[in-house]
């Protein structure tokens, strides 16, 4: 099949690359010349493990091309994916200007029946809206269908997630479009991936519902972590015992500094907004949004407490990205933490294996950027683990101790046990860690 993917950010690029790997002929379009130039030269503008191999392989095979010109190959294309950004606006609602711009651009180019697929995360009703916009801007009356096909990939494991998804959701009222979508995802059909076929509104809601639920799960365990600290209980044991309940599932029950990233903050706020716009309330998600903000701020207080104040202190932060294996800094807890530390008169040194450039764009010269974990620790009053990159899991704690001004470890991801930190001579605090516990069996 001939497929056009418009927008080559995280989602668009992964979609384009993986669909070409499924054997389709794919054109990736972006209005950003720098991005397209980089891609044409075989450089991947984002950090995403495994993506470069797939892109390279399919470019070489002639199945994948990149362009800034949306008209390129458009006549032959059967399926057009819209994968542009939908950032949040002030009021929490999703900004649809890019999606609508694309709809207007492609409308006059539709020369033959095409399926227009919304892959961006868009509010309920956007499918219908895109249909209207296209119909209004068509120059020839050619039939087309709009499909909602939300994307569930996660940054850091995007390729695996796309190639082996938990499910594929396809929202459309048209049988013709449904058959074409099955053809697009034939490779996944063959490996028995569950497909959920439904109407556009339901498909659009599934994406928000899933993300909002996962955000709720994280925030729920964070609130439990806070009470653990108050009563002397251990949140990791609680999470483990909860997760053994077949109805709960052990995933996403790690207490930490609060969720961030390009999806959860945006999608939770958008869902709250969608509900309000329809005269309903998403009151649980509203509580989640607020509790998550408090959780991020609470981390500053935690550092303050263990040091007995922040004025004049030097703080070493390990990890800036919102999670490991990505360079994405959007809504990262590190930003709230750094802002709080600076406000209270501390100096911040930081290191991240992938997100230094992105961090610089946001934080400028308000903090010191270091070459590695050990340089970061140099002369600091506390070492803070903010993102659980694998390389931070096996720090040489003894060496670290000689570099630090005082041996204080604040482990916001619970990657060390209080025992090992104490054994290494540190004053230690994690998130929701009360007293020790052991697990037997299995």
Ligand X SMILES: NC(=O)c1ccc[n+]([C@@H]2O[C@H](COP(=O)([O-])OP(=O)(O)OC[C@H]3O[C@@H](n4cnc5c(N)ncnc54)[C@H](O)[C@@H]3O)[C@@H](O)[C@H]2O)c1
- Catalytic residue set: 263
Residues 56-95 that bind ligand X (CB under 6 A): 83-86
Residue 251 binds other proteins, judged by CB under 8 A: yes
CB-wise, 290 or 390, nearer to other proteins?
Answer: 290
Nearest to 127 by CA among 136, 116, 138, 137: 116
Residue 155 binds ligand X, judged by CB under 6 A: yes
Count Cβ atoms below 10 Å from residue 185 Cβ, excluding itself. Answer: 17
Residue 237 binds other proteins, judged by CB under 8 A: yes
Stretch that binds ligand X, among 129-137, 151-159, 192-200, 313-321 (CB under 6 A): 151-159
CB-wise, 114 or 302, nearer to other proteins?
Answer: 302
Rounded to a whole number of angstroms, the CA Rg of the chain reads: 24
Asked if 103 contacts 74 with a C-beta cutoff of 8 angstroms, the reply is no
Residue 260 binds ligand X, judged by CB under 6 A: no
Strand 168-171 and strand 114-118: the pairing is unpaired
Residue 281 binds other proteins, judged by CB under 8 A: yes
Residue 241 touches which of other proteins, ligand X, none (Cβ within 5-8 Å per kind): other proteins
Nearest to 335 by CA among 352, 350, 345, 320: 320
Nearest to 67 by CA among 146, 12, 1, 24: 12
Nearest to 21 by CA among 188, 182, 168: 188
Q: Among 38, 135, 187, 214, indicate the residue that binds other proteins (CB under 8 A).
A: 214
Nearest distance from C-beta of residue 237 to other proteins, angstroms: 5
Q: Could you give the dihedral angle defined by the CA atoms of residues 217, 83, 137 and 198, in that order, rounded to the nearest 10 degrees?
A: -50
Nearest distance from C-beta of residue 261 to ligand X, angstroms: 7
Q: Among 20, 25, 77, 120, indicate the residue that binds ligand X (CB under 6 A).
A: 120
Asked if 150 contacts 42 with a C-beta cutoff of 8 angstroms, the reply is no
Residue 398 touches which of other proteins, ligand X, none (Cβ within 5-8 Å per kind): none
Residue 16 binds other proteins, judged by CB under 8 A: no
Residue 437 binds other proteins, judged by CB under 8 A: yes
Site string for other proteins, 139-178 (x = CB under 8 A): -------------x-------------xx-x---------
**What is the distance between the alpha carbons of residues 292 and 385, in angstroms, rounded to a whole number?**
18
Angle subtended by helix axes 283-307 and 264-277, to nearest 10:
140
Residue 32 binds ligand X, judged by CB under 6 A: yes
**What is the distance between the alpha carbons of residues 326 and 204, in angstroms, rounded to a whole number?**
26
CB-wise, 80 or 83, nearer to ligand X?
Answer: 83
**What is the distance between the alpha carbons of residues 378 and 372, in angstroms, rounded to a whole number?**
10
Full 3-state SS string of 172-196? CCCHHHHHHHHHHCHHHHHCCCCEE
Task: Provide the 8-state DSSP code for 75.
Answer: G
Site string for other proteins, 56-95 (x = CB under 8 A): ----------------------------------------
Residues that bind ligand X (CB under 6 A): 6-12, 29-32, 35, 83-86, 98, 101-102, 120-121, 151, 153-155, 262-263
């Amino acid at each position: 099949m001939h497929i056009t993917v418009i927008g080559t950010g995280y989602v668009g690029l992964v979609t384009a690359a993986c669909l070409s790997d499924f054997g389709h002929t794919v054109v990736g379009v972006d209005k950003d010349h720098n991005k397209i130039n980089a891609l044409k030269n075989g450089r991947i503008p984002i950090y995403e493990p495994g993506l470069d191999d797939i892109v390279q392989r399919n470019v070489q095979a002639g199945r994948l091309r990149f362009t800034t010109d949306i008209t390129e190959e458009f006549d032959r294309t059967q399926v057009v994916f819209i994968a542009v950004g939908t950032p949040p606006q002030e009021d929490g609602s999703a900004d649809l200007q890019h999606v609508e711009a694309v709809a207007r651009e492609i409308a006059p180019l539709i020369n033959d029946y095409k399926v227009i697929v919304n892959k961006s995360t868009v509010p309920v009703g956007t499918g219908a809206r895109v249909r209207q916009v296209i119909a209004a801007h068509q120059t020839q009356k050619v039939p087309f269908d709009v499909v909602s096909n939300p994307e569930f990939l996660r940054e850091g494991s995007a390729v695996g997630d796309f190639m082996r998804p938990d499910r594929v959701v396809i929202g459309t009222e048209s049988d013709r479009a449904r058959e074409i979508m099955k053809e697009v995802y034939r490779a996944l059909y063959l490996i028995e991936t569950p497909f959920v076929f439904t109407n556009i509104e339901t498909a659009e809601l599934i994406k928000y519902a899933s993300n909002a639920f996962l955000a709720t799960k994280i925030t729920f365990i964070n609130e439990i972590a806070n009470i653990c600290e108050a009563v002397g209980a251990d949140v990791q044991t609680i999470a483990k015992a909860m997760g053994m309940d077949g109805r709960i599932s052990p995933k996403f029950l790690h207490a930490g500094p609060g969720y961030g990233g390009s999806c959860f903050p945006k999608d939770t706020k958008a869902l709250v907004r969608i509900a309000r716009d329809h005269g309903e309330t998403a009151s649980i998600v509203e509580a989640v949004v607020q509790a998550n903000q408090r959780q991020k701020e609470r981390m500053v207080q935690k550092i303050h407490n263990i040091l007995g104040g922040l004025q004049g202190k030097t703080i070493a932060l390990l990890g800036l990205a919102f999670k490991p294996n990505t360079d994405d800094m959007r809504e990262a807890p590190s930003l709230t933490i750094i802002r709080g530390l600076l406000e209270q008169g501390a100096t911040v040194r930081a290191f991240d294996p992938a997100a230094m450039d992105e961090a610089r764009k946001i934080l400028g010269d308000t903090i010191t950027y270091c070459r590695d974990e050990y340089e970061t620790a140099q002369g600091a009053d506390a070492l803070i683990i903010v993102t659980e990159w694998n390389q931070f899991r096996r720090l040489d704690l003894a060496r670290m101790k000689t570099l630090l001004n005082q041996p204080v470890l604040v482990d916001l991801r619970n990657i060390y046990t209080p025992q090992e930190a104490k054994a290494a001579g540190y004053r230690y605090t994690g998130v929701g860690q009360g007293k020790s516990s052991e697990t037997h069996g299995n």
